[in-house]
Structure 1
Amino acid sequence: MSTVEATEARATPTAEKPELVPGAVLIPFILVTCCFALWGFANDITNPMVAAFQKIFLTGATEATWIQVAFYGGYGVMAFPAALFIRRFSYKAGILLGLGLYTIGGLLFIPASSIGEFYPFLMAYFVITCGLSFLETTANPYILSMGPAETATRRLNLAQAFNPVGSLIGMYAASQFILARLDARGREARELLPAQEFEAVKAADLEIVSQPYIMIGIVIAVLFLLIALMKMPNHKEAAKTDASLKAIFGRLLRSKKYVEGVVAQMLYVGAQIMCWTFIIHYGTEVFVAEGMMEKDAQVLSQQYNIAAMTIFCVSRFICTFLLKFIHPGTLLVYLAKGGVCLSLGTVLLGGQGGLYCLVGISACMSLMFPTIYGIALKDIDGDDAKLASAGLIMAIVGGTFLPMLQAGVIDNWNMGFVSAVEASFTLPLLCFVAIAVYGYRTAKIHDASPY
């Protein structure tokens, strides 16, 4: 090589790796990522409330699970209106409306606690998740758009990694500020109380339940102001294809990877909510059988739930790193297979062994939501991406009917070889089987090339 050629070779810039988060949008990225943590808080302070309201209002598991129906039903109702809203206005407007509804829902716990009935709480939960639906429909594609397309899935996984941080805080608040402070009397003792004394106990417990939601409503209001005052990136693209709703839905329905992704997401969310809601019932059954008081058993079970979320959080960071080397569909298959095996242990082992398996499922679930989301949205952009995102957020409605089915198993199972609570975890097992199939089809059929 001549001297001139060597000089030119040294002067030729090497291909730069695409940035994960460009410096110009770092602050907006951080603010939007805070939203991921805050809806994680709402999700996971609420899951243990099924057991809490079951005791406070003396209901069965099925009736108490209406909390999850109201909570996750908001996603099903508001996802597409949220997509149409951000299509008409902007991502920033969608974030602000979501935060506003979240704030209102949290503050609705004030009148709900004063009324002292079950159904006003369902309304408060529903309003919160109408806000969360706007946030998730908006924040996920917003994060994907904040940088190069090559790093979009990793960027979303990074933002989603902070979701379990909020979830951990929510679980801790449920354990220490709600479950540990509720009146120690169990269901049978409460049923024997005179009406006036029962109402006094119920009112005190409902005030305890409401306080964290009211506080988070105030925190959300502060974040609302910060984002309202911040200049946020505005990703508006000129329409490259027919942007009519009919044409967009037609294109989405023709994408097998997207349609299957919506189904996989619905089953994943259902499995997640089932595992994190009914771990309280599972652990309480285990510890009461060992001679523990019901309240102490519930509080200890929530500690196992916190351990599960800690594992979930750590595993998400690890799996986000692994995505640099492993195709998302392939990693999804491995994680889903692990979920199947651990669910089987939860059903068949029972006792402490089954509880450990139930905790371990969270390691397998850690990357499923953002990975399914990223796979399903790959190669979809513009207005199509906004509505496609809404479909994936609407899939969170799986958190309504699947936990209700599990509660029905708990209330009605009467075969002796496994308990009703143990048998109910067959449902998450089946969900993980379907997710494994989607991961396989993604890696081998839909997208044979690496991301």
Structure 2
Amino acid sequence: MSTKDKVVSRAVLIPFVLITFCFALWGFANDITNPMVEAFSRIFNMGASGGTWVQVVFYGGYGAMAFPAALFIRKYTYKAGILVGLGLYATGGLLFLPASALGMYYPFLIAYFVMTCGLSFLETSANPYILSMGADSTATRRLNLAQAFNPMGSLTGMFIATTVIQARLDPRGAEARTALSPAEFEAVKMSDLSILSTPYIAIGLVIIAMFIIIALVKMPKNEDADHSLNLFGTLAKLFKIRKYREGVIAQMFYVGAQIMCWTFIVQYGQRIFVKGGLTPHDLESGWLSIVNSLGFLSDSVRDIIVSGKGANGLTEGAAAHIAQLYNILAMFFFLVARFVCTFMLKYIKPGRLLQYLAIGGVVLATGTIMLQGISGLYCLIGVSACMSLMFPTIYGIALEGMGDDAKFGAAGLIMSIVGGTFLPKIQAAIIDMETVFDMPAVNFSFILPLICFVLIAFYGYRTVKIHMA
């Protein structure tokens, strides 16, 4: 095989490995944070709406920095963009130390915003950087290889959120915490914040080490830097292209649907397990038997179930821990479906596959709304399989044939991650209503992801019939 045909040549192998590791690092940050909506809501004894400010600032940072990051790497280099991203990521993680000491909510939001400004720099820089590390003929395969490490980071983040944070937080819910004296509540709150902050501080230290390594390693240069680029002219030209304009909108609703499904699966499962409880028999069959045998179930929650004390309903904390384990199952289906759907692209056009996946999402979201027991939770888990290839498929459809304009087009698609700010906020407001149309509000709230999937299916349909006909 000639050097030109190789996915990654020996000359850039080390830089490729280092930048690929960054894909896992931002996956970790994304999926350790989603469950923290419920955690902050419980720690500060506020509703789901209060907790979702975490998502607003987290994904708001992506939107705020996407185009500044694109301008920066255009003027300087991809390596410089990576270093700025890592620097902001590390700073955000280390800001959890003073935030924890202060014991207030808003310093944590500042830390999240700084962190995700860094993640926006990383994503905007790393994706085109990987594409540039070799021949154009192998660029897509090279990026797919790098992207395979992102879900690995996501799974690690979910695992840490479940076993290191949620399993160790005080299990008392809102009613029990309200009954505490001010001094007792403050002591529980500060203990929980210390537990929550530790993994973020640790990842901040890891990022510093990564920053130093990349700074010292010789990296490929950004050969196509163009200091005279007309940003506003390029954007105006891009948004005149219907396929791209609609792709940005579809991506915004996809990201919103993903964040809603992976964030509020905790509240969805929490309602089921608080209401119905779990018995020792549940530890001997199904998904819980697997996580229990692997040691993922915390000792305190296992003791509650084994003793029979949780048969009539778990505490909110214990139920949240169990629900997050089902979120890990959802991510597993997401990973498996990604490989399956990638294989299916050999036989099905991207727009058509996107349409099929979105229709599947509509059907399963309907089941999530209408079914109020464990069957509804499994429908919600199945939604993750339908979401598996949506982001890269929309990304590829929207940017196909853009040439050099694709670099700023990519920034627009990263900016569309702001869908993760306002849509979860709306869903949280619905959840706080408790009951809607005589059904649990948390069930009804998944009408928002359902609407998102309808819009995505429409984009897939237009891709087949109009954009790529």
Q: What TM-score does the superposition give when structure 1 sets the normalisation length?
A: 0.91
Offset of residue 231 of structure 1: 2.1
Offset of residue 120 of structure 1: 0.2
Q: Check conservation: 1:28, 1:233, Cα contact below 8 A.
A: yes
Asked if residue 400 in structure 1 is aligned to residue 416 in structure 2, the reply is no
Note closer, same or farther for the CA distance 1:18–1:417 as it changes in structure 2 (3 Å cut).
farther
Asked if residue 74 in structure 1 is aligned to residue 61 in structure 2, the reply is yes
Note closer, same or farther for the CA distance 1:224–1:51 as it changes in structure 2 (3 Å cut).
same
User: What is the rounded CA distance, in whole Å, between the counterparts of 2:141 and 2:352 in structure 1?
Assistant: 15
Q: Check conservation: 2:399, 2:409, Cα contact below 8 A.
A: yes
Offset from partner CA, 1:159-216 (integer Å, 9 cap, x none): 2222111111101101011111011222111111111111111000000000000111
Q: Report the counterpart of residue 105 of structure 1 in structure 2.
A: 92
Q: Report the counterpart of residue 410 of structure 2 in structure 1.
A: 389
User: What is the rounded CA distance, in whole Å, between the counterparts of 2:10 and 2:463 in structure 1?
Assistant: 32
Offset of residue 222 of structure 1: 1.5
User: What is the rounded CA distance, in whole Å, between the counterparts of 2:443 and 2:381 in structure 1?
Assistant: 14
Give the secondary structure class of the aligned counterpart of 2:223. coil
Q: Report the counterpart of residue 381 of structure 2 in structure 1.
A: 359
Note closer, same or farther for the CA distance 1:248–1:398 as it changes in structure 2 (3 Å cut).
same
Asked if residue 370 in structure 1 is aligned to residue 356 in structure 2, the reply is no
CA RMSD of aligned residues (A): 2.1
Q: Check conservation: 1:143, 1:155, Cα contact below 8 A.
A: yes
Q: Check conservation: 1:40, 1:166, Cα contact below 8 A.
A: yes
Asked if residue 160 in structure 1 is aligned to residue 147 in structure 2, the reply is yes
User: What is the rounded CA distance, in whole Å, between the counterparts of 1:238 and 1:67 in structure 2?
Assistant: 35
Aligned residue type for 1:245: L
Q: Report the counterpart of residue 401 of structure 2 in structure 1.
A: 379
Note closer, same or farther for the CA distance 1:343–1:130 as it changes in structure 2 (3 Å cut).
same
| Aligned pairs for 1:262-277 within 5 A | 262-277=248-263
Q: Report the counterpart of residue 170 of structure 1 in structure 2.
A: 157
Point out the more displaced range, 319-328 or 51-60: 319-328
Q: 1:243 aligns with which of 226, 229, 242?
A: 229
Asked if residue 289 in structure 1 is aligned to residue 275 in structure 2, the reply is yes
Q: 1:426 aligns with which of 447, 450, 461?
A: 447
Structure 1 runs not aligned, ≥5 long: 1-13
Offset of residue 233 of structure 1: 2.0
Q: 1:258 aligns with which of 227, 236, 244?
A: 244
Give the secondary structure class of the aligned counterpart of 2:224. coil
Asked if residue 278 in structure 1 is aligned to residue 264 in structure 2, the reply is yes
Q: Check conservation: 1:160, 1:370, Cα contact below 8 A.
A: no
Aligned residue type for 1:283: G
Q: 1:64 aligns with which of 42, 51, 71?
A: 51
Offset of residue 142 of structure 1: 1.9
User: What is the rounded CA distance, in whole Å, between the counterparts of 2:458 and 2:140 in structure 1?
Assistant: 20
Q: What TM-score does the superposition give when structure 2 sets the normalisation length?
A: 0.88
Q: Check conservation: 1:70, 1:122, Cα contact below 8 A.
A: yes
User: What is the rounded CA distance, in whole Å, between the counterparts of 1:22 and 1:368 in structure 2?
Assistant: 29
Matched residues, percent identical? 64
Q: Check conservation: 1:257, 1:376, Cα contact below 8 A.
A: yes
Q: Check conservation: 1:154, 1:320, Cα contact below 8 A.
A: no
Q: Report the counterpart of residue 231 of structure 1 in structure 2.
A: 218
Offset of residue 22 of structure 1: 4.0
Give the secondary structure class of the aligned counterpart of 2:74. helix
Aligned residue type for 2:111: A
User: What is the rounded CA distance, in whole Å, between the counterparts of 1:437 and 1:15 in structure 2?
Assistant: 42
Q: 1:320 aligns with which of 334, 342, 347?
A: 342
Asked if residue 304 in structure 1 is aligned to residue 297 in structure 2, the reply is no
Note closer, same or farther for the CA distance 1:17–1:443 as it changes in structure 2 (3 Å cut).
farther
Give the secondary structure class of the aligned counterpart of 2:159. helix
Point out the more displaced range, 368-377 or 43-52: 368-377
Offset from partner CA, 1:136-170 (integer Å, 9 cap, x none): 11112222333343444443333222211111110
Note closer, same or farther for the CA distance 1:326–1:212 as it changes in structure 2 (3 Å cut).
same
Q: Check conservation: 2:3, 2:9, Cα contact below 8 A.
A: no
Offset from partner CA, 1:409-440 (integer Å, 9 cap, x none): 11236334421000000100111111112222
Note closer, same or farther for the CA distance 1:322–1:151 as it changes in structure 2 (3 Å cut).
farther
Aligned residue type for 1:128: M
User: What is the rounded CA distance, in whole Å, between the counterparts of 1:124 and 1:169 in structure 2?
Assistant: 21
Note closer, same or farther for the CA distance 1:138–1:238 as it changes in structure 2 (3 Å cut).
closer
Note closer, same or farther for the CA distance 1:366–1:23 as it changes in structure 2 (3 Å cut).
farther
Offset of residue 242 of structure 1: 8.4
Question: How many residues are treated as equivalent by the alignment?
Answer: 433
Offset from partner CA, 1:285-339 (integer Å, 9 cap, x none): 0111112222211110000001111111222223233333432222212211111
Offset from partner CA, 1:355-413 (integer Å, 9 cap, x none): 0010111111111112211222222233x233212111110000000000101111236
Point out the more displaced range, 114-123 or 158-167: 158-167
